[in-house]
Homo-oligomer: A and B are copies of this chain.
Amino acid sequence: MVHPGVLPRRVIGELEDVAGPHRVVTDPELLVGSLVDWTGRWKGSSPMMLRPRLTSEVAGHLGVLNHHGVPVQFQGGNTGMVGGSVPMGGEVLVSLRDVAGIEEVDERSGQMVVAAGTTLAEVQQTALQSGWRYPVDLGARDTATIGGTVATNAGGVHVLRDGMTRAQVLGLEAVLADGRIMESLRGLDKDNTGYHLPSLFTGSEGTLGAITRIRLRLLPPHDEEAVAMLGFTGLDAAIEAVGQLRRHTDVQAIEIMLEDVLELVVDHLGVSLPLSRAWPVVLLVEAAGTAGVVDRLASVVHDGSDPAEVVVASDRAGRHRLWAHRDAHSVAISTLGVPTKLDVTVPQGRVAAFIGEVREAAVTDGASQAWIFGHAGDGNLHVNLTGPEPAGLADRILHLVVDAGGSVSAEHGIGRDKVDWLGACRGPGELQVFRMVKDALDPTGRLNPGVLFG
């Protein structure tokens, strides 16, 4: 493989010929912002960033780089959490942010074709304006590109009912390692003609090709929404309630908050908890659907779970007031210093035990503190470690996840950060097939080297 640091002038000329010299950025000052991820933990280097605007230009750029054996790092909004978007080995950076725009909205079918560099927020807004809803949502919505969310199979708070990004991807177009275009954009609801390549490329973290366009499934909008905050005297009762609540069609989010983090949150927000007292465990339950959601949520909460206290909000301001407590978790914890963040899933039946084990491990560690919150409805917990030396503790906690049959990456992906842990979550047969697929589509291993496969 050619080291891109010594790219001959001739290769640069060929790249400039594809889409013009302005699409080939070599000025270090223009590159610098794209060489570090937003966690600040991954700082890379690259001699060059390509900024194609069209699929044909992506194909042209990748064709030239393939011809000369140059390794490539793809980047969307660069909002990932696991070091998957930064060129750590001096690869040529291919930004897909300018391959942007809503290309088609099919209001009849509830589908949208969108170019990869369009932001998640723009996709959401366009869906709403068209009488539909795009269900994937996450904090970085204004910067994250839809292509990046597809490449990483992004999660979010509504996965419980509406699924990860993969469930929304009906079709996609990608440029392969050698510059060939694979268009699989028709995205009919029912189409049983061959392997479902959109599902394979979704979550492939740029290791199989550059995703350039996507056909998204949209969902019907809701008539009504309601949010309930539920106080529980203990973990077991709360987790039992989660099991009951998640069976109800209306319920689209069940978030878990614990007394210690809520204390930080209340201090940080300068508000008082909407409940009459601090409870050891608080669930935030969001329901949405056809008219009558508020009444149904109230009855579901009282029949299906056994909370010590309940507050329900149906108006917009009241819902936001309840959600604010959950939304402020990350910021409130970060007032204690930069935390080590673990994004894990454990099976439903192991959530309560796992939280206890993590707390015990932190107590044993002595110096560190573990702050836990997350999406209880699907077993996805965010463990934040603060204190002087949380590294060893992080490993012990990830081992607890693996022992519980869980996943060390719930919604953030493997990237470069978790490469060493992939083998703990996936069996040898799965890893062999991962490798077979990777070698088939990227035989020289030039796409996002170091991502997923290490």
Contacts and interface: CB of A to CB of B under 8 A. Distances in A.
A166 B441 CA distance: 23
A164 B190 contact: yes
Contacts of A166: 196, 199
B192 A413 contact: yes
B159 A194 contact: no
A407 B189 CA distance: 10
Contact of A108 (B243, B408, B411): B243
Interface stretch (A10-18, A36-44, A288-296): A288-296
A429 interface: yes
A372 to B, nearest CB: 16
Contact of A220 (B191, B248, B437): B248
A429 B172 CA distance: 12
Contacts of A109: 243, 347-349, 379
Contacts of A412: 192
Contacts of A411: 190, 192
B189 A159 contact: yes
Nearest to A414: B193
B290 A250 contact: yes
A264 to B, nearest CB: 25
A160 to B, nearest CB: 7
Given A181-B429, A200-B200, A440-B439, A434 B249 contact: no
Nearest to A194: B434
A184 B430 contact: yes
Interface in A256-299: 289-292, 296
A237 interface: no
A196 B194 contact: no
Contact of A204 (B195, B203, B408): B195
Instruction: Tell me how many chains of this kind the complex includes.
Output: 2
Contacts of A433: 176, 182, 195, 197, 441
Interface stretch (A226-234, A309-317, A420-428): A420-428
A365 interface: no
Interface in A394-426: 405-414, 418, 421-422, 425-426
Interface in A324-367: 345, 347-349
A155 interface: yes
A411 to B, nearest CB: 5
A427 B192 contact: no
Given A429-B181, A441-B436, A407 B348 contact: no
A32 to B, nearest CB: 29
Contacts of A220: 247-249
Contacts of A452: 194
A191 B410 contact: yes
A180 interface: yes
A379 B194 CA distance: 19
A188 interface: yes
Interface in A180-228: 180-184, 186, 188-197, 199-200, 202-204, 220-222
Contacts of A131: 247
Given A163-B167, A439-B440, 6 more contacts: A189-B379, A192-B411, A193-B408, A193-B421, A436-B441, A437-B440
13 contacts: A131-B247, A152-B192, A164-B190, A181-B429, A189-B380, A193-B407, A193-B408, A193-B413, A196-B203, A199-B200, A220-B247, A436-B441, A439-B440
